[in-house]
Amino acid sequence: MEEMPRRIDPTMDRTAAAHLLDCLPDEVGYCPRCQGLTRRYGRHAQVVCPACRAAEAAESSHG
């Protein structure tokens, strides 16, 4: 059973968010969909945050 990633509130400390995202504080930025924090920059950037990606995957699996 996979756990649904949680949106990271933009008020969260950038360093703490980076720790959750397993990236550098410099790589943290805003998700264009929910304005939560995501790994926006860098080599393994994910512009859309994990929570939005998971929601999208869940929706598409419903057909």
Tell me which residues touch Zn ion (CB under 5 A): 31, 33-34, 36, 49, 52
- Give the residue with the Cβ less far from Zn ion, 21 or 49: 49
3 state DSSP class of 38: strand
* Residue 8: CB minimum distance to Zn ion, A: 9
* Residue 61: CB minimum distance to Zn ion, A: 18
In whole angstroms, what is the distance from residue 29 CA to residue 11 CA? Answer: 12
* Residue 26: CB minimum distance to Zn ion, A: 19
Six-digit token string for 59: 């929706």
CA angle 17, 18, 20 (to 5 degrees): 65
